[in-house]
Amino acid sequence: MDLAARPLAAVLVSLLAAALLPLAGRRPAVREAITFAAAGLKLALVASMLPAVLDGQAIESARLPLAAGLTLGFRADALGLLFALTASSLWLLTSLYSVGYLRAAAPSRQTAYYVSFAVCLSATVGIAFAANLLTFFVCYEVLTLATYPLVVHAQTEEARSAGRRYLVYTLGAGQVLFVAIVWTETVAPGVDFTPGGFLAGRAEAGVLATAFALFIVGCGVKAAIMPLHGWLPAAMVAPTPVSALLHAVAVVKAGAFGVVRIVGYVFGVDVLRATGADTVLVVAAAATILIASMRALGEDHLKRLLAYSTIGQLSYIVLGAALGSVAALTGAMFHIAGHGFMKITMFFCAGALHTQAHRDGVHGLDGLGRQMPVTMTAFAVGACGLAGVPLLAGFIAKWNLGVGALTAGDEIIVGVLVVSGLLNVAYFFPIIYDAFFKAPTPETAGAREAPWPMALPLGVTAAVALVLGVAPSLGFRFFALARLAAESVVAGSGGLP
């Protein structure tokens, strides 16, 4: 296939799958075959763009013209490809996991489930490859809508109220983002994302700062920056693969990705420095990191604990974007991939504990390390990675963030990173200790290891988290992509080296 058509094709392939899935009716084999074919094809398409993008090219598909000089279009650059690679490889694994999970849990409305999942992935890759703000927003809102059926999948009163809360937060933020984007359109009509931003000198500092605030609120809800995070712990009522997708891949990451896009490709680091908005964002991110970690410490429901952990971890990405040096941006962008693999491991494990051991809390997991060795080992790897233990993916991100903070002269940030790491250890370690060093209780003794469609994906993601920590540029070259994107942003801003 023509290289230029690939970004568009990568977006459309799962949409096509979504259109085909209802035709499969009640035949699960056909349904799963369609999903896997689409996921595999999508990953292949995205990965095939890697060499060209690493060469510094941006691959651009044909645009769909709208009125008044506006277009919808997709373009694969280094940052977009990094996110798209993460999303599409995790979709393949999540699909496999879903097969195992939904067979073990109560199967109902599976077609709707797979369709929503496929649309979510189209929207996510669309967000990654969006060439301008309008395209970004269209995909962003489609993601909001497509995720709603997944949140309310259980159809219980709790699920419905979580769905309501989710919509109120995300659609409200969508309107704020909408206003910000329309404003941008009036000062810079029809301009694409540009490394280093395109708003410098187009408006007064006060106006720019206001617009930036609107953008951050608009993306911050999905990225769950405190105090805009309220929907996320509530949304944990969704089936576990959905939580995995929501947290590690789609919604939340789209928000964090949006913050990076807007800081790096709309405003530019220099503009933010000039307005002082970067300091506000750094403080908000640092506060979110600490508060979220403390909230996680007091949480006894495993998935909600992971939700708070996500809130904290995503603020690393926001923090890196706000610091704005090459090292900090690299760390932030790399964390999009790194956190994706680590957090999805954790959710996969939580799901396995739910179906195999019927455990949803953080207590009472005694001895499960022996009953479910693969699951609990993967869990330990993910937890250590999130805490920032060296030789794991999380460390690479934290190290670069720390370097960036020191370059910018923000020693306090290094302290925040260290404290957050310690808090991570504090809330994950008791779980690991119980699982490996306590004798099984009567409730846990009967638990069996997860079936292979669940065990394989979580093993793979844990292994990737390990590999990324040792050789961050192996395989999909996540680190190289992050570095490339960060350098282009900083060079475009003409700011700090």
Binding site for another protein (CB under 8 A): 64-68, 72, 108, 134, 137-138, 141-142, 144-145, 149, 152, 155, 159-160, 163-164, 167-168, 171-172, 174-176, 178-179, 182-183, 185-186
* 440 contacts 368 by C-beta, under 8 angstroms: yes
For another protein, the closer of residues 103 and 160 by Cβ is 160
CB of 102 to another protein, least distance (A): 16
Our CB check for another protein shows the closer of 123 and 378 to be: 123
Nearer to another protein, 153 or 477 (CB): 153
Supply the minimum distance, in Å, between the C-beta of residue 174 and another protein. 8
In the structure encoding, which two tokens stand for residue 469, read together? 């920590």
CB of 378 to another protein, least distance (A): 32
Least distance from another protein to the Cβ atom of residue 92, Å: 26
- Which is it for the CA torsion 193, 194, 195, 196, positive or negative? negative
Q: How far is the CB of 328 from another protein (least distance, A)?
A: 32
Minimum separation from the CB atom of position 184 to another protein (A): 10
Please give the Cα distance from 330 to 343 (Å, whole number).
Answer: 19
In the bound complex, what is the minimum distance in angstroms from residue 141's beta carbon to another protein?
A: 5
Measured from the CB atom, is 173 or 489 closer to another protein? 173
Q: Which is nearer to another protein, 119 or 464 (CB)?
A: 119
The Cα 36–Cα 28 span in angstroms is 12
Nearest approach in angstroms of CB 241 to another protein is: 19
Asked whether 177 and 214 are in contact (CB, 8 A), the reply is: yes
CB of 154 vs another protein, minimal distance in Å: 9
Of the two residues 144 and 493, which places its CB atom closer to another protein in the complex? 144
What one-character-per-residue DSSP string does 470-481 give?
H-TTSTTTHHHH
How far apart, in whole angstroms, are the C-alpha atoms of residue 297 and residue 308? 9
Task: Compute how many other C-beta atoms are within 10 angstroms of the C-beta atom of residue 438.
Answer: 15
How far apart, in whole angstroms, are the C-alpha atoms of residue 458 and residue 352?
9
Q: Please list the alpha-helical segments (H only) found in 56-109.
A: 78-104
Beta carbon nearer to another protein, 159 or 328: 159
Angle subtended by helix axes 78-104 and 326-352, to nearest 10: 10
Rounded CA separation 460/309 (Å): 21
The DSSP 8-state label assigned to residue 24 in this structure reads G
CB of 100 to another protein, least distance (A): 22
Cβ nearer to another protein, comparing 65 with 494: 65
Rank residues 33 and 66 by Cβ distance to another protein and give the closer one. Answer: 66
The smaller minimum CB distance to another protein, of residues 38 and 133, is found at 133
Distance of CA 446 to the CA centre of its chain: 35
Length in residues, the chain: 497
Phi, psi of 358 (to 5 degrees): 55, 40
First-last CA distance in the chain: 38
The closest of 58, 295, 320 to 192, measured between CA atoms, is 58
Enter the tokens of residue 476.
């999909």
In whole angstroms, what is the distance from residue 224 CA to residue 222 CA?
5
Query: Using an 8 Å Cβ cutoff, are 391 and 466 in contact?
Result: yes
